[in-house]
């Protein structure tokens, strides 16, 4: 019987066993990935190689850009400020002193006239007639006086010869006296008529600037007219009336009593441009109780006519000058709950908050009484980002005071 031998062959894998193997493989890969991520998250960097680790460096913080200047030593003027108005040194309303028709105007509006210049003319003919009449009366009375004196001399000769009574001589002497009085009256009338003729020519009583004409040619003017013919204001020199608080008066009066001439400067309405320089003339003799101020008068030559009557001005009175004061721009002055302070730049390019005591100042500079020394650097721009100890980058400044800096 023939036996057939067959070789054994491997048992083929079933689909279920293949799927089981792939699931185990995926699980192992996932565990490996999770372990790697956990290691990366929780193990500190460089722990495996401590010898090669580099030291940790803090990031460099840039300094705050600022503009700073050095405090300087110099003379600081002590000014007192006030508000004032320009007033003409003299103001005259020119009126006619006689009644009559205005026949001539000899000035131009706005013209500068000198004392004695002809301004206007009133019709002189009525006063010429009065002068002729007074002269005629004088001639008549002088003839009568001459005749009375001749008769008086004759009567005195007759009374010595006892040819007439003494009563007749006395009556003649009284008549001579009456004629002498009449002659004086006639002479006074002549002088008055001449004076009226003089008044017909209206001249400038002072030197000054003529305003607008108030009366035109051809109008009848009267001596009692309220408005007058024109107004003349003396503007060279000119004065400024301004007010000062009563607390500032003692040092001012002390200076005036000592004979010192205190300089006064007039500025425009904005207080930026100086218009003119003069001197203090006097102080009023009383204080206004409602405002607690007193009026002062300053005189300005005004050769360039920069000041105009009724013009509003800001006034600065130079009271004193402090020598060797520490001066900084007003922009460096800061104010806080503890008072005034400045940011001082130190050698390590950090800032220090320094409390200071202020002295007198001007529009652009302020003096420091205490807390700061000359040549110390203070910040004038960029202070809004600074704190005590802040690092700064100092920029150069062309001027001590930046544009638009506030006033103290």
Q: What pairing do the DSSP bridges indicate for beta strands 230-245 and 72-94? A: antiparallel
- The predicted-structure confidence for 366-407, as pLDDT tens digits, reads as follows 999 888 989 899 999 888 888 888 888 888 665 444 433 333
Domain covering 98-123+202-228, topology: OB fold (Dihydrolipoamide Acetyltransferase, E2P) (2.40.50)
Please state at what angle helix 166-199 crosses helix 125-160, rounded to 10 degrees.
160
**pLDDT in the model for residue 22:** 60
Q: Is 328 exposed, middle or buried (0-12, 13-18, 19+ CB in 10 A)?
A: buried
Q: Are 367 and 327 in contact (CB under 8 A)?
A: yes
Q: Are 328 and 399 in contact (CB under 8 A)?
A: no
CATH 2.40.420.20 fits 66-75+324-395, yes or no: yes
User: Between 1.10.600.10, 1.10.287.470, 3.90.1280.10, 3.90.1570.30, what CATH number should domain 124-199 receive?
Assistant: 1.10.287.470
Cβ density class 3-37: b for 16+ within 10 Å, e for less: eeeeeeeeeeeeeeeeeeeeeeeeeeeeeeeeeee
At 274, phi and psi to the nearest 5?
-80, 130
- The predicted-structure confidence for 164-209, as pLDDT tens digits, reads as follows 889 999 999 999 999 999 999 999 999 999 999 999 999 999 999 9
Q: What is the pTM of this model?
A: 0.65
For residue 408, pLDDT beyond 80: no
CA dihedral sign, ordered 317, 319, 324, 328 = negative
- The predicted-structure confidence for 209-265, as pLDDT tens digits, reads as follows 999 999 999 999 999 999 899 999 999 999 999 999 999 999 999 999 999 999 999
Of 299, 67, 107, nearest to 204 by C-alpha is 107
- The predicted-structure confidence for 393-403, as pLDDT tens digits, reads as follows 888 665 444 43
- The predicted-structure confidence for 289-332, as pLDDT tens digits, reads as follows 999 999 999 999 999 999 999 999 999 999 988 888 999 999 89
């Amino acid at each position: 019987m023939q036996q057939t031998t067959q070789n054994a062959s491997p048992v083929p894998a079933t689909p279920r066993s293949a799927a089981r193997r792939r699931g185990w493989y995926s699980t192992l890969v996932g565990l490996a990935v999770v372990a790697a991520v956990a290691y990366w998250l929780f193990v500190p960097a460089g722990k495996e190689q401590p010898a090669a680790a580099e030291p940790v460096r803090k990031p460099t913080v840039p300094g705050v850009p600022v503009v700073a200047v050095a405090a300087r030593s110099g003379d600081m003027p002590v000014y007192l400020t006030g508000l004032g108005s320009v007033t003409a040194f003299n103001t005259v309303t020119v009126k006619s002193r006689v009644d009559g028709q205005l026949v001539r105007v000899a000035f131009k509006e706005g013209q500068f006239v000198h004392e004695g210049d002809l301004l206007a003319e009133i019709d002189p003919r009525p006063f010429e007639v009065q002068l002729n009449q007074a002269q005629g009366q004088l001639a008549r009375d002088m003839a009568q006086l001459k005749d009375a004196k001749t008769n008086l001399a004759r009567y005195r000769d007759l009374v010595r010869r006892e040819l007439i009574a003494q009563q007749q001589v006395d009556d003649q002497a009284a008549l001579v006296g009456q004629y002498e009085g009449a002659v004086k009256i006639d002479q006074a009338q002549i002088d008055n008529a001449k004076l009226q003729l003089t008044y017909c020519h209206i001249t400038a009583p002072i030197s000054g600037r003529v305003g607008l004409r108030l009366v035109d040619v051809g109008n009848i003017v009267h001596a009692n007219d309220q408005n007058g013919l024109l107004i003349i204001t003396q503007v060279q020199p000119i004065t400024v009336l301004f007010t000062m608080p009563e607390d500032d008066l003692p040092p001012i009066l002390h200076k005036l009593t000592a004979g010192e001439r205190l300089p006064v400067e007039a500025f425009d309405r904005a207080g930026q441009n100086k218009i003119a320089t003069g001197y203090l003339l006097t102080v009023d003799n009383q204080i206004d109780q409602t405002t607690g101020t007193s009026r002062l008068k300053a005189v300005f030559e005004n050769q360039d006519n920069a000041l105009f009557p009724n013009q509003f001005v800001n006034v600065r009175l130079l009271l004193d000058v402090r020598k060797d004061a520490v001066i900084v721009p007003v922009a460096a002055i800061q104010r806080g709950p503890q008072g005034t302070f400045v940011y001082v730049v130190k050698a390590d390019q950090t800032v220090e908050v320094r409390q200071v005591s202020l002295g007198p100042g001007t529009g652009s500079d302020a003096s420091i009484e205490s807390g700061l020394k000359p040549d110390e650097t203070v910040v004038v721009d960029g202070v809004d980002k600074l704190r005590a100890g802040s690092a700064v980058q100092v920029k150069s400044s062309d001027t001590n005071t930046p544009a638009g800096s506030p006033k103290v």
